[in-house]
Amino acid sequence: MTKALAAGGEVDSWCTKCKMMLNHRIIAMEGGVPARVECSTCNSHHNFRARAPGEKAPAKERVAKTASAGTKAPRGAAARGKAAAEERAFATAREQQQAWEKAIAGRSVHEFRTYKVSEIFEERELVKHNKFGDGVVVRVIDPKKVEVLFKDGPLTLAQAMQLPG
């Protein structure tokens, strides 16, 4: 699951349309960092933004998660942290897939609700996403965001959003 950032890969970015931090697909890289991204929620294309406008220095966690070649963290500690994070990610990826299979197995197609940003979802609800397929809501992060576990892992998606037009 954990791989270097590259075009086609995934990254958390501020969505200029959804106006929140969401999962994005990298369209173009520039100097080892994402330059253009596609929002997994609204499919809009925009420049990569590592954090919300007005947000100050990124939290430690986020640095570790999105660290690229140019990281300023002390080398030894960063390497150790990265290896541990990769091990954790590997274990979680397997666990997540098992959890996903358990949640999806034997469910009728009628039990899945088509994902739309305007809908409001509840924990454990089954959703069908036009891009990511079948998923299960694992967490309602806040009234505007849900975490949905798909076959390839969890994604943060928007909900209860009124899009103009």
Binding site for Zn ion (CB under 5 A): 15, 17-18, 39, 41-42
Q: How far is the CB of 149 from Zn ion (least distance, A)?
A: 20
How far is residue 119's CA from residue 51's CA, in Å, rounded to a whole number? 25
Q: Output the residue with the shortest Cβ distance to Zn ion.
A: 39
Q: How far is the CB of 52 from Zn ion (least distance, A)?
A: 13
In the bound state with Zn ion, the residue whose beta carbon lies nearer, of 15 and 138, is: 15
In the bound state with Zn ion, the residue whose beta carbon lies nearer, of 126 and 157, is: 157
In the bound state with Zn ion, the residue whose beta carbon lies nearer, of 100 and 115, is: 115
CA contacts within 13 A on the Cβ side of 48: 24
Q: Is 13 exposed, middle or buried (0-12, 13-18, 19+ CB in 10 A)?
A: buried
Q: How far is the CB of 17 from Zn ion (least distance, A)?
A: 4
In the bound state with Zn ion, the residue whose beta carbon lies nearer, of 42 and 64, is: 42
How far is residue 87's CA from residue 89's CA, in Å, rounded to a whole number? 5
Closest CA to 37 of 10, 70, 4: 10
Q: How far is the CB of 115 from Zn ion (least distance, A)?
A: 13
How far is residue 99's CA from residue 154's CA, in Å, rounded to a whole number? 11
